[in-house]
Amino acid sequence: MFSCYENLWPGGFPRTPERHSARHKEATRQIVRPRRPEAERRSRTICVRVTTEEAATIAERAGAARMTKGAYMRRRALGKPVREAAVHRLGARERVELHRIGVNLNQLARALNSGASAPAGTLEAVERVGELAVGLMTGEALDR
């Protein structure tokens, strides 16, 4: 039998428009999103003209915060904090290494708080670890 439908189900059966729309209706019926009250709906638009460089900077910063440009600009304009999602850019190895550094720092803090004396060079080592951690999170290549 010849079928003019391009979309095939995994079993090879043609997906008819009737079947497709029924599956779509069933899937969307399960998702129930309550509507916001009229006062809370975002129905107003504010247009802002920016240069190409400004638009690129806004897009870059919104992407770093894993937000849309509109959400990023709204939060910034309303004085709400915007944090970059830098840790998500790290690979698995870098996250494991950063976790190990944190464990070692906690052990050092516990020892110092219990009255142990700090070995020579501890402050410099802790400062260097802080620099390396910042380098990992910002993606900068620091000398080892």
pLDDT digits (tens, 9 = 90+) for 40-53: 888 888 889 999 99
3-class secondary-structure state, position 14? strand
Residue 8, beta-bridge partner list: 14
Output the pTM of the full model: 0.40
pLDDT at 21: 62
Long-range contacts: 96-105, Cβ < 8 Å, 24+? 97/136, 98/133, 98/136, 101/129, 101/132, 101/133, 105/129
Q: Residues 99-141: pLDDT tens digits?
A: 888 888 888 888 888 988 888 888 888 888 888 777 766 665 4
- Alpha carbon dihedral 124, 130, 132, 133, in 10-degree steps, equals 160
* Cα distance between residue 46 and residue 27, in whole Å: 35
* pLDDT at residue 22, rounded to an integer: 62
Tens-place pLDDT, residues 54-77: 999 999 999 888 899 999 999 999
